[in-house]
Amino acid sequence: MRLKSLIKVSLAAVFVAGGAFASGLGDPDKGEKIFRKCASCHEVGQGAINRIGPQLNGLFGRTAGAMPDMQYSKNMIRMGDDGLIWTVETLDAYVENPRALVSKTRMSFRGIKDPQERADLLAYLRRFSDDPANIPEAEPTATGTDHDLDPAILALEGDPEYGEYLASECQTCHQASGANDGIPGISNWPTEDFVVAMHAYKRKLRPHPVMQMMAGRLNDEEIAALAAYFKDLE
C-alpha cells in the first residue's frame, strides 16, 4: 500500500503507561499557584469558559483541537485528527515545549522547563477531570515514560547532501515546495524543531502511525541529515 493511501486510513493512537515521572505525581496545591502562568488565556474550575485558549475542565482524555467554539491552528486540528489525546504524558510534553509537540500551535507560551513544576501543574489540572481517584493508575491520565531528548542528539550536525539522498521517501508525501496541501510542508524548518518532531514520532509520542513507522527506521545521524537538508530547501 502506498504511503499516500496509508495516510487516508482512519488513524488512532493509544498511549500506554510506562513508569512514572521522575519528579513524582506532583503537588496540586503548588500547581494551583503555577497555573497563574496560564490564567491569562485559560480558565479552569466552576464556571470556566473558553477565552483566548480553551477552558481546561475535563482536559484529560480530551482529543486535541476538539473543544467546540474554539479557533485552533491547523496543526492542532491535524494532530487531533491523527489521534492525539491529552494525557499526563502528552500534556507534560506540550507544557514543556508547545511547539515541539504541535508545530505552529497558536499557544504563544515558551513552556515550563522545570519537570517538578509541570508535575505540580498537571496534578492541579487533574482535579477538574473525570474520576481523579483513578489517577495515576489508569488511562487517560496514567503517567508515562520520560521523553526528554538528549542534548547530544540536538547537537549533531547533519550532512545536507546525505539528507537529500534520504529525502526522496519523505517527498513521496511532503511537497518540496513546502506547500501545505493536506500534508504539512517541512521545508525551511529550523533543524531543532525538525529533530525534536522526528524523535517524538520515533518514540510514539506524536500519534501519526505512518510517521511513527518512517521515523522508526531512521537513526540519529539520518534524522540530523534530513533536518539539515530541509532547513535550507528552496
Q: How many domains is the chain partitioned into structurally?
A: 2
Q: What is the pLDDT of residue 131?
A: 62
Q: What is the pLDDT of residue 216?
A: 95
In this structure, are 53 and 158 located in the same domain? no
Which of the residue ranges 83-87, 142-146, 158-162, 216-220 would you say has the lowest mean pLDDT?
142-146
**Does residue 90 sit in helix, strand or coil?**
helix
186: confidence class by pLDDT, cuts 50, 70, 90: confident
Q: What is the pLDDT of residue 142?
A: 56
Q: What is the pLDDT of residue 30?
A: 96
Q: What share of the chain is helix, strand, coil (3-state, %, to 5)?
A: 40, 0, 55
For residue 140, being part of any structural domain is answered with no
In this structure, are 105 and 79 located in the same domain? yes
Question: Which pTM does this prediction carry?
Answer: 0.60
Q: Residue 20 above 60 pLDDT?
A: no
Cell numbers describing residue 127: 482535579
Say which CATH number the domain at 163 has: 1.10.760.10
For residue 129, being part of any structural domain is answered with yes
In this structure, are 177 and 129 located in the same domain? no
Q: What is the pLDDT of residue 138?
A: 47
For residue 4, being part of any structural domain is answered with no
Name the residue range of residue 123's domain: 12-134
Q: Residue 70 above 60 pLDDT?
A: yes
Q: What is the pLDDT of residue 160?
A: 95
pLDDT tens, residue by residue, 122-147: 999 988 887 665 555 445 555 543 44
What is the average pLDDT score of the chain?
81
Q: What is the pLDDT of residue 22?
A: 32
